[in-house]
Amino acid sequence: MDLLPFNSYEEYIDNFITIKDVRYLRGLKIQRKLIKNACGKSCVGNLLSRKEFVSRRETALAMLQPPGLSASQLFGDYLNSNDQVLKQIARREKILMQKRMSTVIFLIMRSSRGLEISSFIDLEQSFREAHVHSSHPNYIDWRGIFEGKVKLMPRNHDLSHFDWHKNSTVFNNSDNFLIVTEGAHSLLLMHSGDHKKICVNAGCDCNYSRNATRSMYVSNIYGNVIFFDHIIRRMN
């Protein structure tokens, strides 16, 4: 399990709490105690102790800083254009890496064959994977993108990938979001930290659509790109 999304041991424990637990066990202290007792030896492998959690998370954080990249270095520092979409992505990078917000972008581009493809992309995960690209097969070259050497393209392992020519859709959970299909909604994203659902359906005014701020920016390179910014709410 990736421990980076959890800023505390309590958040790590809360990840094992199910909707059923919340419904029948009102008190968070009782829920956490139940998880520790029930999962200590048999739930999704051994539950980490507080000491093990801290140690493993520190190791994971260290891996985010490969040789030559300082703790304060951001990919957005390499932005060398006035492209509005890239400027907006760069503005969000630091706050995303601090886990205070999660952002999903909707991008439509043309493939090498000139056919339209689109994706919903989890920005925080893509930045994090780029930091450890030597060990991650699907990393995005964000430095190259900000320098204008590479284009950001939809990929079939993004949150949602649609090939308009083949009329085929692929859904994938990310570290920050789970894919949810519910009723009339063609696609809902549930944040794995605070369990808030986000509706990304165009023109929808349901309660879920209020869990993220929707904005659109125009780029000569990327056309119209939609941003869904979700402020992470901690479980109390």
Q: Are residues 84 and 191 in the same domain?
A: yes
pLDDT per residue over 109-128, tens digit each? 988 777 899 999 999 999 98
Q: Are residues 31 and 144 in the same domain?
A: no
Q: 4 pLDDT exceeds 80? A: no
192 is written with which tokens? 């794995």
pLDDT per residue over 44-84, tens digit each? 456 777 778 777 776 666 555 544 344 458 999 999 999 99
108 falls within a domain: yes
Adjacent-strand bridge partners of 108: 118
Q: Are residues 58 and 80 in the same domain?
A: no
Give the pLDDT score at 30: 56
| Band of residue 23 on the pLDDT scale cut at 50, 70, 90 | very low
Q: Are residues 53 and 120 in the same domain?
A: no
How many separate domains does the chain show? 2
68 falls within a domain: no
Q: What residues contact residue 132 under an 8 Å CB cut-off, 6+ apart? A: 63, 64, 66, 139
Q: Compute the distance between CA of residue 3 and CA of residue 53 in angstroms, rounded to an integer.
A: 8
Q: Are residues 53 and 150 in the same domain?
A: no
| Band of residue 17 on the pLDDT scale cut at 50, 70, 90 | low
Range of the domain at 116: 75-231
Q: 108 pLDDT exceeds 90? A: yes
Closest CA to 225 of 115, 122, 109, 129: 109
The answer to whether residues 151 and 134 touch, using CB atoms and an 8 Å cutoff, is no
Q: 18 pLDDT exceeds 90? A: no
- Which comes out higher in pLDDT, residue 228 or 66? 228
Q: Are residues 143 and 30 in the same domain?
A: no
231 is written with which tokens? 């402020």
